[in-house]
Chains A and B, each alone.
Chain A
């Protein structure tokens, strides 16, 4: 079946540095991928919609200059957390849909746990 991978699965970085997280669709092409963040014991909050070949669409309250999204190919989207701070520590999850219709569920990556010290 369709699989979405994320790399790295966890990362620890120092405050002020930047971290890149990759999201790949392994056996299908995804023109659109979604990025979520999840704080402990909370649900997933949509951060942005990543569109292949064009700019990402950010949700209200998400700083586009801080969370840089690049969707360079039909199988890869990257999220770069720039100048990370401890409050950016979270679980980041991406998802992709084989087709953007209401009957096709999202396929999620395994998540990336970011800890900023």
Chain B
């Protein structure tokens, strides 16, 4: 059983479309991080959300942390081919840093 679930698992969209991916847990997390990983590379941190209800924006990316700190979402506006990659949410559970299974996004030109 995964501590962090992500949906959808795969997403293929056309350039210019909007999309939202979700990260859910039955457990409360003190914070959640979102990473993007491109093939053959390590994950790169996009954002950390700490406060329940928090919304953070990073250019065309909008991140939200649920009020109960059990879920988070990532919304991308006007997706571009450069947004293609594996999007991972992660957080500390006890002393371990755990990852969700990821959403693999493909943005077609």
Say if A and B assemble together.
Answer: yes
Interface residues of A (CB under 8 A from B): 4, 6, 32, 34, 36, 41-44, 46, 49, 91, 93, 95, 97, 100, 102-103, 105-111, 113
Give the bracket for the number of chain B residues in contact with chain A. 20 to 34
Q: How many A-B residue pairs have CB under 8 A?
A: 61
Q: Give B101's nearest chain A residue, CB to CB.
A: A43
Closest Cβ neighbor of A59 among chain B residues:
B96
Instruction: Pick from A43, A100, A103, A109: contact of B42, CB below 8 A.
Output: A109
| A91, chain B: closest CB distance, angstroms | 8
Given contacts A32-B95, A42-B101, 17 further A-B contacts (CB under 8 A): A41-B104, A43-B86, A46-B97, A95-B42, A102-B29, A102-B30, A102-B31, A102-B50, A103-B48, A105-B33, A106-B33, A106-B90, A108-B43, A108-B44, A110-B42, A111-B40, A111-B41
Q: Which of B79-101 contact A (CB under 8 A)?
A: 86, 88, 90-92, 95-101
Bound-state CA distance A107–B48 (Å) is 12
B68 on the interface (CB 8 Å rule)?
no
Task: Looking at the assembled complex, report how far the CB atom of B12 sits from the nearest CB atom of chain A, in whole angstroms.
Answer: 14
Those 3 A-B pairs whose CB atoms lie nearest each other, nearest first? A102-B30, A108-B42, A43-B102
Q: B88 and A113: CB pair below 8 A?
A: no
